[in-house]
Structure 1
Amino acid sequence: MSLTLWLTFLVAAVLISLSPGAGAINTMSNGMRYGVRRSMPAILGLQLGYGAQILLVGAGLGAIVASSTIALSAIKWLGVGYLVWLGISKWREPVMESMSDDHQPVSGHKRFWNAALVNLTNPKATVFLVALFPQFLVASEPHGPQLATMGMTLILVDCLVMLGYALLASQLFRFMTTARRQQQMNRVFGGLFVTAAVALASFKRT
């Protein structure tokens, strides 16, 4: 892959990661409640799910999933159900008794796998990658190294963008000094997760 082609792909990767989605909502929710450092397990979980999608497409299975109505529908509705569950859980999440001490924090291990499932059950990512990769593959060169380069670029860029989202969200932490404000913010993020579920439910292949 030439430098010019890679730079073009890099721009596409940045735009993809910056676009709001379930992953960004998950990261902002964690960033606001736990801060940047403690959001890392969730951010890494998102990259695991994203990496699995990239491997799926790179191995050629993404095209099969994208062309199978049953398989794509199953993944889609699993993702819808999971996002709704996250939304309800966030809506009902108890407030912190002290802003300097999260009384009963969700473990990093649980947040890691919750985030991984957010990206893993997103059929938009599969369909998008199936459409994206062929645009940048050079037919006369080995595909493996090219896919590896694009995959690593996507994950690195997404990781950096999610860190940015977590940093921005963590600035809200200083304002969450009352239980009422915390409850309102939990319900905002809960509503955003459900909104993402509705958007996913209405997703149709073109």
Structure 2
Amino acid sequence: MSWTLFSAFFVACVLISVTPGAGAINTMANGMVYGVRRTLPSILGLQIGLAFQMVVVGIGLGSLLSSSALAFTIIKWLGVVYLVYLGITKWRETAHAFSTENQDATLSGWTRLWKGALVNATNPKATVFLMALLPQFLVADAPHAPQFAIMGATMVAVDIAVMFGYATLSTAIARFLKTPAQQRAINRAFGGLFIGAAGLLAAYRH
């Protein structure tokens, strides 16, 4: 992969990561409750899910999702149900004092990690999107595995940086939320965003 091609791919990765989606919503929701440092497991989980998507595309399972309506539909609705679950959980979350070291935030780091992983791993739209994007940057007469590895590492690195930015922003915003009413409002806003993301995924057609 030439530097020109890599630069174009890097810009595409930045634009994709910056565009708000379920991953950004998940990161900001965690950032407001746990602070930046304790949101890192969630960000790592998102990257595990993204890496899973890259592997799916790389070994050709993405072709199954793009050609089989049944497989796509099953995975899509699993993702919809999971996002709705996250939305309802966030909507009903008890209001508490936000801080960067919140002692009332009871979810373990492992739980936050795997929740983040599932957000990205159960999104078939991302699989189909990667199938459409990645071939545009593949050099046909060069080995594909190293190219997929480079692109996967680049996407993960860019997404970590962008999600860290989202976590930092949401943590800063949380400092201004002092009353239980404000906290409930933001919880319900994020819950609504998760459910909205589920609606968009449900509306996506194979």
TM > 0.5 between the two? yes
Shift of 1:102: 2.9
Structure 1 unaligned spans of 5+ = none
* Residue of structure 2 equivalent to 1:198: 199
Shift of 1:79: 0.4
* Residue of structure 1 equivalent to 2:179: 178
Shift of 1:173: 1.6
Pairwise mapping of residues 79-90 of structure 1 onto structure 2 (< 5 A)? 79-90=79-90
Return the alpha-carbon distance in structure 1 between the equivalents of residues 186 and 32 of structure 2.
9
* Residue of structure 1 equivalent to 2:12: 12
Q: Normalized against structure 1, the TM-score is what? A: 0.96
Return the alpha-carbon distance in structure 1 between the equivalents of residues 63 and 159 of structure 2.
23
* CA displacement, residues 36-72 of structure 1 (integer Å, 9 cap, x when unaligned): 1110000000000000000010111111122110011
Shift of 1:138: 0.7
Q: Normalized against structure 2, the TM-score is what? A: 0.96
Structure 2 unaligned spans of 5+ = none
Shift of 1:161: 0.5
* Residue of structure 1 equivalent to 2:112: 111
* Residue of structure 1 equivalent to 2:56: 56
Shift of 1:97: 5.1
Shift of 1:172: 1.2
Q: How much is the aligned-residue C-alpha RMSD, in angstroms?
A: 1.2
Pairwise mapping of residues 69-88 of structure 1 onto structure 2 (< 5 A)? 69-88=69-88
Moved more, 175-184 or 3-12: 175-184
Return the alpha-carbon distance in structure 2 between the equivalents of residues 98 and 80 of structure 1.
29
Shift of 1:108: 1.1
* CA displacement, residues 143-199 of structure 1 (integer Å, 9 cap, x when unaligned): 111111011111110111000111111111211211111111100000000000000
Do 2:98 and 2:174's aligned partners in 1 also have CA atoms closer than 8 Å?
no
Return the alpha-carbon distance in structure 2 between the equivalents of residues 101 and 204 of structure 1.
41
* Residue of structure 2 equivalent to 1:93: 93
Return the alpha-carbon distance in structure 1 between the equivalents of residues 171 and 66 of structure 2.
37
Shift of 1:95: 1.4
Q: Is 1:158–2:163 an aligned residue pair?
A: no
Shift of 1:101: 3.8
* CA displacement, residues 94-148 of structure 1 (integer Å, 9 cap, x when unaligned): 1125746432421111111111100000011100111111111111111111111
SS in 1 for 2:204: coil
Q: Is 1:143–2:123 an aligned residue pair?
A: no
SS in 1 for 2:175: helix
- Work out the number of aligned pairs and report it: 205
Do 1:96 and 1:102's aligned partners in 2 also have CA atoms closer than 8 Å?
no
> Letter of the aligned partner of 1:195 in structure 2?
G
